[in-house]
Amino acid sequence: MAERAKPGAGPTATAVVPGAGSRRRGWVLAGVAVVVGGVLGFHHRVPNWPGRMGSLLESFLPWGGVLVVVLLVVALVRRSAVALVALLLPVGLWVDTFGGLLLPGEESGGGRELVVVQHNVSDENRDPAGTARALIDAEADLVALEELVEPQVAAYEKALSADYPHHVVRGTVGLWSKHPLSGEQVVDIKPPSIEEGWSRGVRAVVHSPYGDVAAYVAHLPSVRAGMGGLASQRRDDSAALLGSAIASERVEPLVLLGDLNGVVEDRGLRPLTSQLDVAESGFAFSFPAAFPLARIDQVMARSATVGRIRTLPATGSDHLPVVARVALR
């Protein structure tokens, strides 16, 4: 007589639930989407230590949109409803933060406006005359240049003189203008850790057809990204000094042009972005010129609106020039 199999004896069959692996993958994608959304929406809460990781993250925040697109494609391929629903969070936050920059914006507001160009021309530029001609083609009212060194600075002065009869150069930064200038002075933005002789800030009053405008040109210290994170202490210190100078400025409107070595989302530039308006549209990634990843060349303003910002064709510099229209209030 055959014995009945005892409970627990012999191999046990495991029931396979169809689609269980796909559901798990869907939940993983959903989790990643929520994390990406959290970073996009609350990047300012990411600690800036060690290695100023918060600033490093904010430097490339717009590229979070690429990650969102990749997740969206994977979710569609997996046909994961839960992942697609979760992706609504990062998509909405990215569009809320950067969507306005995709809009065409106003090329010309007419009336009270100035066209401005900002360009780090590079101290290794071998064609300053050609660079100057490219900037003249933008037909700007103001042209701000950084990394001006001899003998190139003389070449810029000569090439720009006919179109821009008024200019000021202090240290390695300069401002060229179609309109008269006055009150030219050095703006001390040298961090304590940098030796004497370093001068990268200038201020002048532009006597435009629409009234006086305070114009600042600045080149903040470089930052370096490495295994230890972002080395930006000097840049942050310099931004704080520039912010203090701008806060005490009495002439309105005010325009700041410069290589600030940071994007507008970077908390290191908060002394500036907390009191100045930034471009309303246009990504205008300006650095590095060979494969632009970020806009570190900025146009900011107070009592004025910076419209669409865009890049100009490459020159002999490792930066691309940027041009914007500034509507005076």
**Ranges of each domain in the chain:** 20-102, 113-328
pLDDT digits (tens, 9 = 90+) for 125-164: 999 999 999 999 999 999 999 999 999 999 999 999 999 9
Using the predicted structure, report yes or no on whether residue 109 has a pLDDT greater than 70. Answer: no
Q: Which has the higher per-residue pLDDT, 110 or 134? A: 134
Residue 326: what pLDDT? 98
Residue 259: what pLDDT? 98
Q: Which has the higher per-residue pLDDT, 21 or 29? A: 29
Share the mean pLDDT of the chain: 90
Going by pLDDT thresholds of 50, 70 and 90, the confidence category of residue 286 is very high
Residue 280: what pLDDT? 87
Report the C-alpha gap between 247 and 260 in whole angstroms.
17
Pick the CATH number of 113-328 from 1.10.1060.10, 3.40.50.1820, 3.60.10.10, 3.90.1150.10: 3.60.10.10
Element holding 141 (H helix, E strand) = none
Residue 12: what pLDDT? 52
Q: Residue 257 is encoded by which pair of tokens?
A: 């042009």
pLDDT digits (tens, 9 = 90+) for 227-247: 667 789 999 999 999 999 999
Average pLDDT over residues 166-185: 98
- Candidates 100, 53, 91, 58; CA nearest to 277 is 100
Q: Are 58 and 265 in contact (CB under 8 A)?
A: yes
Using the predicted structure, report yes or no on whether residue 289 has a pLDDT greater than 60. Answer: yes
Residue 225: what pLDDT? 75
3-class DSSP state for residue 109?
coil
Residue 187: what pLDDT? 98
Beta strand pairing call for 142-146 and 173-177? antiparallel
Report the C-alpha gap between 219 and 258 in whole angstroms.
6
Residue 104: what pLDDT? 77
Going by pLDDT thresholds of 50, 70 and 90, the confidence category of residue 294 is very high
Element holding 116 (H helix, E strand) = strand 113-120
Going by pLDDT thresholds of 50, 70 and 90, the confidence category of residue 100 is confident
Q: Residue 248 is encoded by which pair of tokens?
A: 């005490």
Using the predicted structure, report yes or no on whether residue 278 has a pLDDT greater than 90. Answer: yes
Residue whose entry in the numeric block shows the structure tokens 């066209």: 115
Residue 19: what pLDDT? 55
Q: Does the predicted model carry a pTM greater than 0.75?
A: yes
Burial class (CB in 10 A: 0-12, 13-18, 19+), 280: middle
Burial letters for 70-107: b for 16+ Cβ neighbours within 10 Å, e otherwise? ebbebbeebebebbbebbebbbebbeebbeebeeebee
Lowest mean pLDDT: which of 95-104, 129-138, 259-268? Answer: 95-104
Residue 60: what pLDDT? 86
Whole-number percent of the chain with pLDDT over 70? 90
Peptide bond into 128 cis (omega under 30): no
Distance of CA 223 to the CA centre of its chain: 13
Using the predicted structure, report yes or no on whether residue 324 has a pLDDT greater than 90. Answer: yes
Provide the 8-state DSSP code for 11.
-
Report the C-alpha gap between 326 and 300 in whole angstroms.
9
Distance of CA 221 to the CA centre of its chain: 15
Average pLDDT over residues 111-133: 96
Residue 167 one-letter amino acid: H
Taking residue 191's Cβ as centre, other Cβ atoms within 10 Å add up to 17
Average pLDDT over residues 57-71: 90
Residue 11: what pLDDT? 53
pLDDT digits (tens, 9 = 90+) for 73-94: 999 998 899 999 999 999 999 9
Residue whose entry in the numeric block shows the structure tokens 């908390």: 267
